[in-house]
């Protein structure tokens, strides 16, 4: 049996899609798992913690999203159960669209023109070429690399930072502590696409913001826990950073009284940069289950010690 445990997601299209793609498996939706020992696979998004231990026949769990921090924080998933993270073309397309859109928004000075419109001010502002703007990616994984390549293709100067050394054509690849500082110091727009791990939580605090260029912009599409909120607000308030686009937050939904909502230099979206769509995700996960049942092993299994 395949159990869908998807908090905040309308289950109908998922159930219909998986019933079509995996007719040999019974598909059930939490909180109606049927006999617990019959659950062989589970698809998880914001699942209530502490429940998976009762599924004694569990063979593998699949993440509904690319980030697995919330799944890893659930102590009821036995250490021998593989956790498969989502690498999906629909998710990648969504992230590329979002990041390219926000980078172009800043690059083409749309915030300045919006302010001028409010003053009925008709003037042309100086416009740098993309090659004279550096976009720096913290995280050069599946999503960071796809976004970096899209922007390099538009002619931007692109750099990226990862845990291990990398080589990507047309992108300056940095790693380690010196690489982190170098990337922050040379980027006009910094895009965070790191997972939330013991090593990355709080990585974007006062020290990191101080290393960014005067007037830099910051886009966080990774995880809210990367950022020390008060330090980001302080960097914006003192004019060191010129803007922030935030899609992910320490606590989601973002509290109604959080300063991010109303800060004039902050754009907020409700964790929608990339989104899981039945059309592509059902195919991706069904192929993985079918391959596993045929003895081919599972791709993209999370390294629990590394945290992503």
**Residue numbers annotated as active site:** 223, 271
- The residues binding ligand NDP (CB under 6 A) are 65-67, 91, 95, 139-144, 161-164, 193-197, 199-200, 221-223, 247-248, 271, 273-274, 308
Q: Let me know if 219 is exposed, middle or buried by CB neighbors in 10 A (0-12, 13-18, 19+).
A: buried
Phi and psi dihedrals of 307, rounded to 5?
95, 10
**Residue with smaller CB distance to ligand OXD, 156 or 218:** 218
**What does the block give as tokens for 101?**
């859109």
- Backbone dihedral region of 271: left (phi > 0), alpha (psi from -120 to 50 degrees) or beta? left
Least distance to ligand NDP, CB of residue 194, Å: 5
Q: Dmax over Cα atoms in the chain, in whole Å?
A: 69
Contact 195, 69 (CB under 8 A): yes
Query: Between 140 and 242, whose beta carbon lies closer to ligand NDP?
Result: 140
Q: How far is the CB of 125 from ligand NDP (least distance, A)?
A: 30
Q: How far is the CB of 186 from ligand OXD (least distance, A)?
A: 27
Question: What number of CA atoms fall less than 13 Å from residue 275's CA on the CB side?
Answer: 13
Q: In angstroms, what is the minimal distance from the CB of 300 to ligand NDP?
A: 9
Distance from chain centroid for Cα 259: 22
Which CB, 58 or 203, lies closer to ligand NDP? 203
- Which of ligand OXD, ligand NDP, none is residue 5 near (CB under 5 to 8 Å by kind)? none
Work out what residue 130 binds among ligand NDP, ligand OXD, none; the CB cut-off runs from 5 to 8 Å by kind.
Answer: none
With CB under 5 to 8 Å by kind, the binding choice for 18 among ligand NDP, ligand OXD, none is none
162 binds, options ligand OXD, ligand NDP, none, Cβ within 5 to 8 A by partner type: ligand NDP
Asked if 192 contacts 218 with a C-beta cutoff of 8 angstroms, the reply is yes
Minimum CB separation of residue 159 from ligand OXD in Å reads: 23
Point out which residues bind ligand OXD (CB under 6 A): 65-67, 91, 274
Our CB check for ligand OXD shows the closer of 17 and 130 to be: 17
Q: Supply the DSSP string of 96-115, one letter for each residue.
A: HHHHHHHHHHHHTTHHHHHH
Spell out where the chain has E strands.
2-6, 27-29, 41-45, 60-63, 83-84, 134-138, 157-162, 172-175, 189-192, 216-220, 241-246, 266-268
Q: Which lies closer to ligand NDP via its Cβ, residue 30 or residue 161?
A: 161
């Amino acid at each position: 049996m395949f159990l869908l445990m998807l908090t905040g997601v309308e289950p109908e299209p998922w159930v219909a899609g998986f019933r079509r793609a995996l007719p040999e498996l019974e598909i059930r939706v939490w909180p109606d798992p049927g006999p617990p020992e019959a659950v062989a696979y589970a698809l998880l998004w914001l699942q209530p913690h502490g429940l998976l231990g009762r599924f004694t026949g569990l063979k593998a769990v699949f993440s509904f999203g690319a980030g697995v921090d919330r799944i890893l924080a659930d102590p009821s998933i036995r250490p021998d159960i593989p956790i498969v993270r989502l690498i999906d073309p629909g998710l990648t397309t969504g992230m590329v669209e979002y990041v390219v859109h926000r980078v172009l928004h800043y690059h083409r000075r749309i915030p300045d023109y919006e302010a001028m419109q409010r003053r009925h001010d008709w003037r042309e502002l100086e416009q740098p070429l993309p090659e004279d703007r550096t976009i720096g990616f913290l995280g050069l994984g599946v999503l960071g690399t796809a976004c970096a390549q899209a922007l390099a293709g538009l002619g931007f100067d692109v750099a990226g930072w990862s845990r291990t050394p990398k080589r990507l054509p047309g992108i300056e690849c940095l790693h380690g502590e010196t690489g982190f500082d170098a990337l922050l110091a040379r980027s006009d727009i910094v895009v965070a696409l790191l997972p939330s791990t013991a090593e990355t939580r709080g990585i974007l605090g006062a020290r990191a913001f101080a290393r960014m260029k005067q007037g830099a912009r910051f886009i966080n599409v990774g995880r809210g826990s990367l950022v020390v909120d008060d330090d980001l607000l302080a960097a914006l308030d003192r004019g060191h950073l010129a803007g922030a686009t935030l899609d992910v937050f320490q606590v989601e939904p973002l509290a109604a009284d959080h300063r991010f909502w109303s800060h004039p230099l902050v754009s907020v979206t409700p964790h929608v940069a990339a989104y899981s769509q039945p059309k592509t995700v059902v195919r991706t996960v069904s192929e993985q289950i079918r391959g596993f049942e045929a003895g081919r092993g599972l791709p993209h299994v999370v390294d629990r010690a590394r945290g992503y």
